[in-house]
Structure 1
Amino acid sequence: MTHDIRDATAADESAFRRLWAEYLAFYNVTLPHEVTAQTWARILDPASPLTARLAVVQGRVLGFALHHNHISTWGLGDDGYLEDLFLTADARGFGLGRALLDDLVAISRAKGWARLYWMTSETNHTARKLYDRYALADDHVRYRIRL
């Protein structure tokens, strides 16, 4: 499948929001509209570390990888964090997820980041098959306090 991986632009808002809604439905999550609006605003804000890379096929946005970087206490370089990766159901199995991940690895190397990491649901077996090709899951357990 011939594709382009590129940064999101203001013209991609409706496509992003459509994909974002599918992503939230996949995880059975509802977020307030303000959160989605703020996420989109952060993606477009050059001062924000959040970036959206889009997988585009024949002019259609079929997937995204949202990532940002942060300082690390475990090394000299920054870390890259893949916050969210999603492909429409009809776009899976054609190498677009791999293309998005390869793109982020290249960005991470070009920016001198020491590590790229991400999390996924333990039950997301399809995504984990792809992720296991890049790195093995580690033994960390996530804790969250909602404030």
Structure 2
Amino acid sequence: MALHMIKLVVGCDTVEGLLEWRASHSQPADPWILRTRQTPKRAAEMIDGGSVYRVFKGMILCRQAVLDVNTVGEGVTARCEVTLDPEIVRVTPTPRRAFQGWRYLEPKDAPPDLAQDGFGDVPQELARQLREVGAW
């Protein structure tokens, strides 16, 4: 069964901002690697269909499928590299309080993907307001 990870995005306010940052800091052929200090103990479950859900300014807005999880280095210099699918899937904007590092996210708690019927282009602020009043 798939297990997801949730992580805060720092330095970008929108999905578009994350894509711009990515374009300016890597080559198109480079794998998308998310680096963290701790290797997830449940990494095998994440590789089995899991995704990294990203939180922008208190809202989960998108996810990327997890392709691989590796520990690099040894001892105090060990780090984790999570290789992600370069395709970003927008999800239903969902509020999420701030936290440090990353957390596991059970599939039952993960926000659903946005339908590709035009609602994916709703501005972030409008989507947040609609969620707050229960209209989305």
What is the TM-score normalised by the length of structure 1? Answer: 0.25
Q: Which has the higher helix share?
A: 1
Q: Which has the higher strand share?
A: 2
Structure number with the bigger relative contact order (C-alpha 8 A, sep ≥ 6) is: 2
What is the TM-score normalised by the length of structure 2? Answer: 0.26
